[in-house]
Chains A and B, each alone.
Chain A
């Protein structure tokens, strides 16, 4: 038995996703440059998508498209769960919208203050 083939595929995707979430959180918490914080957010976002997709994986499953390659009668045993994929599709679009608005705020702040450092925007902290 080879140790590499023993590890399930979805476990690798799950671990990478969780790793990306941690890297993104670290970036959002430690970086002071707004663009870098937004990149951290994007990394976390992507990590969450990977975790969701890996949870929907079924051993040996293929894409849930029922055509000649996957006959309808046998489909239940051969495809992965379509629900997490659909959720990730929604999540990607919403992540994109959130990122766009954050970048627009960053542009505005840069225009107003000529800096991207979050520490210099102090008056509305609390």
Chain B
């Protein structure tokens, strides 16, 4: 009871803080200094119409590298926590015989005809849309992380419709590490050839607003998109009930 009271008091205090914030809130009528700089200089300096992309990939590129690292570590953590060792398997069989049987029963229940056919039809398009989103990250809303998430949703689709399908861990690991490595190489090239780490002006800026423009931004987003897509696919694969493939 006393615990409930504490929780209630804490939430009430939080609500009071928030109330003060809301009461004194005035909507911005002009950009902040930093935002103004990015909006004024971004298009000319970097050649990217989408300023959020310009900030994420170039001005704050180091943050994005940290973000990719956090995602990598969490994917590795999920892989470590949900790995299936031989000892674990024995334990499962010994202790939870009932559950095991239930699991096998669920495992062999196939998805319906409609879901399977729809997946076969839509999966290539979902992946293609993901690639479109990250290749156009500098022109339109979207980018590497969003495109990667769309590709991973394609994987989710596949796992739901065809639960027996095997996803090659080796292929995922190779693609993921190669794209991560290339991302850092492009960043270091920025230090050598242009103004600093992850500077996109190592390549020609091209025509403003065309697909192959904005220097290295499409290249960087290609690597980020592939990396995120495969990483999230690996995470989804780990959360599957039964572990089919070799580790």
In chain B, what residue has the closest Cβ to A86?
B55
Task: Check: B143 CB closer than 8 A to any chain A CB.
Answer: yes
B66, chain A: closest CB distance, angstroms: 8
- Find chain B residues with CB under 8 A from A39 CB: none
Contact B27 A10 (CB under 8 A): yes
B1, chain A: closest CB distance, angstroms: 13
Contact B7 A83 (CB under 8 A): no
Interface size on B, residues (CB 8 A): 58
Distance between Cα atoms of A63 and B51 in the complex (Å): 9
| A contacts with B: majority SS | helix
Q: How large is the interface on A (under 10, 10 to 19, 20 to 34, 35 or more residues)?
A: 35 or more
Cross-chain pair count, CB within 8 angstroms: 146
Distance between Cα atoms of A104 and B81 in the complex (Å): 6
Distance between Cα atoms of A38 and B27 in the complex (Å): 32
**Contact A18/B21 with A64-B39, A108-B81 known, Cβ cut-off 8 Å:** yes
Contact with B along A61-85 (1 / 0, CB 8 A): 0011111000010011101011101
Contact with B along A91-125 (1 / 0, CB 8 A): 01110111011011101100100100000000000
Contact B22 A85 (CB under 8 A): no
Distance between Cα atoms of A77 and B35 in the complex (Å): 11
- Find chain A residues with CB under 8 A from B30 CB: 58, 77
- Find chain B residues with CB under 8 A from A94 CB: 67, 70-71
In chain A, what residue has the closest Cβ to B54?
A82
Contact B78 A101 (CB under 8 A): yes
Contact A111 B92 (CB under 8 A): yes
Contact A66 B71 (CB under 8 A): no
- Find chain A residues with CB under 8 A from B27 CB: 8, 10-11, 57-59
28 A-B residue pairings within 8 Å (CB atoms)? A8-B27, A18-B18, A21-B14, A21-B18, A22-B14, A57-B28, A64-B39, A64-B52, A65-B50, A66-B51, A67-B139, A67-B209, A76-B36, A79-B51, A82-B39, A82-B42, A82-B55, A83-B32, A83-B34, A83-B55, A85-B52, A86-B52, A90-B63, A93-B71, A98-B74, A101-B77, A108-B81, A111-B92
Partner-B contacts on A (CB < 8 A): 8, 10-11, 14-15, 18, 21-22, 25-26, 29-30, 55-59, 63-67, 72, 75-77, 79, 81-83, 85-86, 89-90, 92-94, 96-98, 100-101, 103-105, 107-108, 111, 114
| 16 other A-B residue contacts (CB within 8 Å) besides A18-B21, A64-B52, A93-B145 | A11-B22, A11-B27, A22-B18, A56-B28, A58-B30, A65-B51, A66-B39, A66-B42, A66-B49, A72-B43, A79-B51, A81-B31, A82-B52, A105-B81, A107-B239, A111-B88
